[in-house]
Amino acid sequence: MEPKTIKKIGVLTSGGDSPGMNAAIRAVVRAGFYYDIEMYGVYRGYEGMISNDIKKLESKHITHVLERGGTFLKSARSAEFRTPEGRQIAYNNLKSHGIDALVVIGGDGSLTGAHLFYKEFGIPAIGLPGTIDNDLSGTDSTIGFDTACNTAIEAIDKIRDTATSHDRLFFVEVMGRDAGFIAINAGIGSAAAAILIPEKKMPIEHLVDKLRIRTKAKKASNIVIVAEGGKSGGATEIAALVSKHLPYYDIKVTILGHLQRGGSPSSYDRLLASKLGVAAIEGLLQGKYDVMAGLINNKVVYTPIKKAIVDDKSVDEDDFRVAKILST
Amino acid sequence: MEPKTIKKIGVLTSGGDSPGMNAAIRAVVRAGFYYDIEMYGVYRGYEGMISNDIKKLESKHITHVLERGGTFLKSARSAEFRTPEGRQIAYNNLKSHGIDALVVIGGDGSLTGAHLFYKEFGIPAIGLPGTIDNDLSGTDSTIGFDTACNTAIEAIDKIRDTATSHDRLFFVEVMGRDAGFIAINAGIGSAAAAILIPEKKMPIEHLVDKLRIRTKAKKASNIVIVAEGGKSGGATEIAALVSKHLPYYDIKVTILGHLQRGGSPSSYDRLLASKLGVAAIEGLLQGKYDVMAGLINNKVVYTPIKKAIVDDKSVDEDDFRVAKILST
Amino acid sequence: MEPKTIKKIGVLTSGGDSPGMNAAIRAVVRAGFYYDIEMYGVYRGYEGMISNDIKKLESKHITHVLERGGTFLKSARSAEFRTPEGRQIAYNNLKSHGIDALVVIGGDGSLTGAHLFYKEFGIPAIGLPGTIDNDLSGTDSTIGFDTACNTAIEAIDKIRDTATSHDRLFFVEVMGRDAGFIAINAGIGSAAAAILIPEKKMPIEHLVDKLRIRTKAKKASNIVIVAEGGKSGGATEIAALVSKHLPYYDIKVTILGHLQRGGSPSSYDRLLASKLGVAAIEGLLQGKYDVMAGLINNKVVYTPIKKAIVDDKSVDEDDFRVAKILST
Amino acid sequence: MEPKTIKKIGVLTSGGDSPGMNAAIRAVVRAGFYYDIEMYGVYRGYEGMISNDIKKLESKHITHVLERGGTFLKSARSAEFRTPEGRQIAYNNLKSHGIDALVVIGGDGSLTGAHLFYKEFGIPAIGLPGTIDNDLSGTDSTIGFDTACNTAIEAIDKIRDTATSHDRLFFVEVMGRDAGFIAINAGIGSAAAAILIPEKKMPIEHLVDKLRIRTKAKKASNIVIVAEGGKSGGATEIAALVSKHLPYYDIKVTILGHLQRGGSPSSYDRLLASKLGVAAIEGLLQGKYDVMAGLINNKVVYTPIKKAIVDDKSVDEDDFRVAKILST
């Protein structure tokens, strides 16, 4: 497509926040400045686009944000934006600032918004994968996923200390919505006895057998990782089921929760966010609209948003096999 | 009291584990070696004393344990030790190894065991305060408390990232049993909107009012710290009550849980554990029995175990006042 | 002294920065607001006082600073302030803003400035101990010291991994100027083979003997902590001397350097800074001038600045004895 | 090649240690057990092979090692192994234990040893890339690289606190031998003003100009990352050169040093080490000898050792370009 002339770009974060969003915003803004573009921050995601909470960004706004968790542009979910009327208001607000193009950082819902907006109003829009869940195609890793995995294993390392000291069985629930990426990484990384992910059904009897065998083998600690979106429920439900079969076990549950969303981004997430931030601006300038910029095999790749969202990205079968070998 | 001749000392950890227990064991054992004493590890607390799970310790057992969370001697709660028959078996086992004296590291229940054992069998016993709850008198801080506070604020810092990004209200539950020490430190340290501790009753209306006022003042984030042993319930219960009064708030709950018990001990806990470990051995050699060694104003103090347990140590009123001033 | 009426207070940080300075500023400002005082930030320490870099502070300035290292008011050393002419200019600037009183956060040089300023112009001034060196009397711990110790042991824990893997001898230099507080805490906390501090002369032959004995005893790792202000030089010099006596050792040197000054403050430093920040404002309101607010045995104590600076605070002899026992 | 029958496999770590080596050993050993192979640990690398420091490994040896930095098998550099006589002795020792095959974890020197050993004695040998330097082809990342980058940025984050507080210019030297991988990642991840890597010559005048421009633009902090193997010297040398041109700058140098080699491995390094550990055993069983197992685009790939070592892997040009855009 013949690139349109772009003078002013708006950037926003939407949906659940993830570590590295600030680094991505910074890279988007700094790359914009590099290409002599005026940059605008849309606050609170699409909600701010509708309420016209939009400000011109300067260098000072992005100083010392790279290393901070969360998003200084804030994030929200907007019901109104899902209506054509809401989107019309949003469009009018963008136009009132003279904003030519958009960079949207978020998960599948957020990118869907960008896609719709492009379709309906022809606004050049590009998405960046910002979610800890890693459930977007078109990129090896989403911004925030690596940090969330590190946060999870650091927490589980602490839990293992007490699990081992007391010969306890811990069920630890990690995030990931209906994807098991954090669970599989955290599970392999913490020598878990078993990993329960939404993508795989594991009959409770198998789990119980495995735990029985490990106990006989006097494995030093028993930690079971449960992805939040598991088919048989979360850690609390699984633990209750298991405890019926293993009444003499000292069983505890920890739900790691929202601390997985925060924290200073890892080196990898900073690099990923920085590269994709530059790629977003350069993509827009090259006429790449309605796409998500991702990193595949360390190269920038632009994937149509609809494809990035719809495609099924699932936990690597081989990772699951490795987890099994290492936990026996 | 005229000190008995002591040639062999047993050391054990009991009750809930805490970071720094390993550092304390190491210091006890190394100080024992320094004074030419044979050192024995009693595994799994009093349970191991009854099941005779007792091993002679050498230098290699305490190599690289100082920096690790948990306790390599493991810990457990023993019902049998609470009976005179159980204690008689335990005593016989100690005698079969020729063990003259005991160092017990743990919380109030563990120290009570040491006290009873001394009373009934005259075994020189000294206690060290090993608990994250900080609920023992006779010491400014218990071993593990400082690390638990650091773990709590690091987790809350991460939660704040996401709380701020979404303008959410978070209720974070911290440990401490029926003491509010972790809550008050973590609350002041994380700029909490409010801190609910067992020692103070706060009517739910006051809390709701405070949150309303802060919202009007557009405070950047609202985190409420709830001690697990609170009179009105834990974070889940309080959040439910508040949400009735503030239905439009986006409220989330995180229960930090057992990760607070683990982790590499802080510099302070390593120093405290090291000093008290030496003090335990030197106390026994000086005839100080049935006491707990603690650190008050950075000086070693020996307090009768009964006094250390029974005395009420409560959250500093001034800390509470400071928390209030800083959260308005 | 009859307290003067105080309506406007200036706060500044001066000298080397330390973790927790931001938490202290926040507490000072928030306590000021609580007592209906206008608060002013003096930027870049006394330098900003002379160049009139002074701004009224609002709530937004202290949002999300508590958990950050460094000082958002910035710090500097000012040669001009050491001259009477410089101080006169500074005074005139304060007056031009109507500032009635000062809170100075820093080390001995910074507090001396506050003392002089009070003496010469009668401006109510109170100091807070902000330095990682812990070399001020009138407080058990200075703001930043606990965090610096944690930073040091975390770094040394990492160094120990590689030291142990290679059976190497590491000399690690820590900060502390002419005080050995960080060295002694980090040394005990990292199971160091030896600790060299400015307060104690250790002949190089003793050190060499100790290392030889440990090698024979096959101690798992040999880490020697050297305080930067040591009488026989820093880690590089000591390592060179030792290597002459132990030519077959694989010796490495690491100078931890300025990373010890930064980082998010520990729970203890946040609490300390928060309590002292409130104490500074309340002290000024009660007519306590020319003093430093410190925490002794967890109680706020006001010590004349001259005494806090001049008094010799030195490493606890018993800490040194404990270090010796534990390293044999 | 027709796979030989393999019953006993030896595993060793050699050269500079890296975080994740323990996780790799664990995975190798556990995968060996899974395939009913006896596993032997060769201690202190090739040195232990020559001195016959070889022990049969059991489950207990690999308990709780996954999360620890360093290598419990220890590492060393062996001059004797470089001689044919030394290798003959080593071979005889392996045979005396009945060891059929070898897994060598280390950098290029270590893998060269495995290659030679295979060539000369026909012992099936497979290598795993264990080095923080990331300077091996045949894998996207080497075991330990990701952790070293995280360690570097966490240290630089702390340094930035104090750099910003004092408006200082810091030169921070990171590891990487003659490769700039850590430098480029840490530089982008810490918003460095400039990154000096061995692969690129940057005239000192360009650097000085860049720093001057940034100072005029009042960039909040100036951190320059210098790779240790830089053509114009390390951080100390560069800082000295720059200070001649910018005499009024307050310039400091920090050499991060060996702490970059230690620490608990990141989630990514744990996963990488776990997958490659399994791949090493499965490769040997499938007759893949004289190769290094690596991960390319998340798939296991076996590359001839000679190719993995000789091939030039160099910093991505696009990473360098991104760094430039983001630092202007």
User: Are D163 and D137 in the same domain?
Assistant: no
- The CA distance from B90 to the nearest CA of chain C, in Å, is 30
Judged by CB atoms closer than 8 Å, whether chains meet at B258 and A170 is answered as yes
Give me the residue from B30, B298, B326 closest to C325, CB to CB. Answer: B30
What pLDDT, in 10s, does the model give residues A239-275?
999 999 999 889 999 999 999 999 999 999 999 999 9
User: Are D157 and D210 in the same domain?
Assistant: yes
> CB of A283 within 8 A of CB of A126?
yes
Give me the residue from B33, B64, B322 closest to C220, CB to CB. Answer: B64
For residue A2, is it within any domain? no
Give me the residue from D64, D149, D267 closest to A185, CB to CB. Answer: D267
Report how far residue A206's alpha carbon sits from residue A238's, in angstroms, rounded to the nearest whole number: 12
If you ran DSSP here, which 8-state letter would residue C231 be given? T
For residue C125, is it within any domain? yes
pLDDT at C1: 58
- The CA distance from D114 to the nearest CA of chain A, in Å, is 25
Mean pLDDT, residues B125-132: 98
Active-site residue, A146 included: no
Query: Considering C17, C100, C133, C290, which one is annotated as catalytic?
Result: C133
Least confident segment among B157-171, B248-262, C114-128, D206-220: D206-220
User: Are D115 and D34 in the same domain?
Assistant: yes
How many angstroms separate the Cα of D131 from the Cα of each of D32, D71, D141, D306?
23, 12, 9, 17
For residue D326, is it within any domain? no
Which CATH number goes with the domain that contains B189? Answer: 3.40.50.460
Judged by CB atoms closer than 8 Å, whether chains meet at A274 and D188 is answered as yes
User: Are D97 and D239 in the same domain?
Assistant: no
Judged by CB atoms closer than 8 Å, whether chains meet at D161 and C74 is answered as no
User: Are C282 and C224 in the same domain?
Assistant: no
Report how far residue C23's alpha carbon sits from residue C134's, in angstroms, rounded to the nearest whole number: 17
User: Are C17 and C115 in the same domain?
Assistant: yes
- pLDDT exceeds 80 at position C164: yes
Domain assignment of residue C302, given as a range: 8-144+265-310
How many Cβ pairs within 8 Å bridge chains C and D? Answer: 114
User: Are C20 and C128 in the same domain?
Assistant: yes
pLDDT at D109: 94
Query: Annotated active-site positions of D, please?
Result: 133
User: Are D290 and D258 in the same domain?
Assistant: no
> CB of A215 within 8 A of CB of A185?
no
User: Are C150 and C228 in the same domain?
Assistant: yes
What pLDDT, in 10s, does the model give residues C44-97?
999 999 999 999 999 999 999 999 999 999 999 899 999 999 999 999 999 999
A302: nearest Cα among A311, A289, A315? A289
Judged by CB atoms closer than 8 Å, whether chains meet at C167 and D76 is answered as yes
For residue A315, is it within any domain? no
For residue B325, is it within any domain? no
Q: How many independent structural domains does chain D possess?
A: 2
How many angstroms separate the Cα of D22 from the Cα of each of A5, A308, B170?
54, 37, 38
For residue B3, is it within any domain? no
Q: Within 10 A of B181 (CB to CB), how many other CB atoms are there?
A: 28
What pLDDT, in 10s, does the model give residues C208-252?
999 998 888 777 678 999 999 887 899 999 999 999 999 988 999
Rounded to 5°, the CA angle D156-D159-D163 comes to 130
Rounded to 5°, the CA angle C320-C325-C328 comes to 120
For residue C298, is it within any domain? yes
Judged by CB atoms closer than 8 Å, whether chains meet at A30 and D152 is answered as no
* Interface of chain C toward chain D, CB-CB under 8 angstroms: 13, 16-17, 19, 21, 68-71, 74-76, 151, 155, 157-167, 170, 252-255, 257-263
Q: Within 10 A of D5 (CB to CB), how many other CB atoms are there?
A: 6
Q: Is the dihedral of CA D319, D321, D324, D326 positive or negative?
A: negative
What pLDDT, in 10s, does the model give residues A49-95?
999 999 999 999 999 999 999 999 999 989 999 999 999 999 999 99
Q: Is the dihedral of CA A60, A63, A68, A70 positive or negative?
A: positive
Structure tokens at D72: 């419990």
Mean pLDDT, residues B76-91: 94
Q: Within 10 A of B136 (CB to CB), how many other CB atoms are there?
A: 28
For residue A322, is it within any domain? no
Per-residue pLDDT of chain D (328 residues; tens, 9 = 90+): 578 899 999 999 999 999 999 999 999 999 999 999 999 999 999 999 999 999 999 999 999 999 999 999 999 989 999 999 999 999 999 999 999 999 999 999 999 999 999 999 999 999 999 999 999 999 999 999 999 999 999 999 999 999 999 999 999 999 999 899 999 999 999 999 999 999 888 899 999 999 998 888 777 678 999 999 887 899 999 999 999 999 988 999 999 999 999 999 999 999 999 999 999 999 999 999 999 999 999 999 999 999 999 877 889 999 999 999 999 8
Long-range own/partner contacts, residues A289-292 (CB < 8 A, 24 or more apart): A289/A1, A289/A118, A289/A124, A289/A125, A289/A126, A290/A114, A290/A115, A290/A118, A290/A119, A290/A125, A290/A126, A291/A126, A291/A127, A292/A111, A292/A126, A292/A127, A292/A128, A292/A129, A292/A136, A292/A138, A292/A139
CB proximity list for A50: less than 8 A, separation 6 or greater = A78, A80, A81, A86, A89, A90, A93
User: Are C179 and C91 in the same domain?
Assistant: no
Identify from D110, D165, D250 which residue to disrupt to test chain C contact, counting C C-beta atoms within 10 A and taking the largest count: D165
pLDDT at C313: 86
Those residues of chain A that have pLDDT short of 70 are 1, 220
Identify from B167, B171, B259 which residue to disrupt to test chain A contact, counting A C-beta atoms within 10 A and taking the largest count: B259
Query: Considering A17, A36, A53, A133, which one is annotated as catalytic?
Result: A133
- The CA distance from C41 to the nearest CA of chain B, in Å, is 18
pLDDT band at C328 (very low <50, low <70, confident <90, very high): confident
> CB of C302 within 8 A of CB of C288?
yes
Which ipTM did the prediction report? 0.96
Give me the residue from C151, C162, C255 closest to D262, CB to CB. Answer: C162
pLDDT at C311: 76
Judged by CB atoms closer than 8 Å, whether chains meet at B322 and C152 is answered as no
Give me the residue from B140, B153, B267 closest to C189, CB to CB. Answer: B267
The mean predicted confidence, pLDDT, of chain A is 95
What pLDDT, in 10s, does the model give residues B292-319?
999 999 999 999 999 999 877 889 999 9
pLDDT at C14: 96
- pLDDT exceeds 90 at position B110: yes
pLDDT at D207: 94
Percent of chain B with pLDDT over 90: 88
User: Are C131 and C159 in the same domain?
Assistant: no
How many angstroms separate the Cα of C100 from the Cα of each of C46, C115, C124, C208?
16, 15, 7, 58
pLDDT at A203: 92
D chain contacts of residue C258, beta-carbon cutoff 8 Å:
158-159, 162-163, 170, 252, 254
Which CATH number goes with the domain that contains C79? Answer: 3.40.50.450
pLDDT at B73: 98
User: Are B124 and B158 in the same domain?
Assistant: no
Judged by CB atoms closer than 8 Å, whether chains meet at B158 and A263 is answered as yes
